[in-house]
């Protein structure tokens, strides 16, 4: 199917598997087509890894350890008066 899809859409540069049952076939599609394959697992990896420090480069150790205490926050307390005026859901 993947090879047929490439014949029909020769400008394709990747595959996106939208069903959660399809990631099991991602490696076979990569091997058959040589193209990247994105699926629910790679999407989760993308979002999870975007919050993790990458030890291979950059300023390591910049993240503070969480002390386990939730900071107090009131909706809109971080905004200027001008920004608050533009809110759809107004601050109380």
Q: List pLDDT tens digits, range 24-78.
A: 999 999 999 999 999 999 999 988 888 887 778 877 777 788 899 988 888 888 8
Helices (H), 1-92: 2-8, 26-33, 40-49, 81-85
CA torsion angle 71 75 78 84 (round to 10): 180
Q: What integer pLDDT is reported at residue 29 of this predicted model?
A: 95
90 pLDDT band, cuts 50/70/90, is confident
């Amino acid at each position: 199917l993947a090879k047929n899809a490439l014949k029909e859409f020769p400008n394709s540069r990747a595959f996106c598997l939208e069903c959660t049952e399809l990631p099991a076939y991602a490696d076979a599609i990569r091997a058959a087509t040589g193209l990247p394959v994105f699926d629910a697992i790679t999407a989760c990896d993308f979002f999870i890894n975007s919050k993790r420090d990458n030890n291979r480069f950059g300023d390591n150790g910049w993240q503070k350890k969480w002390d386990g205490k939730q900071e107090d926050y009131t909706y809109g307390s971080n905004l200027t008066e001008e920004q608050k005026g533009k809110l759809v859901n107004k601050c109380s």
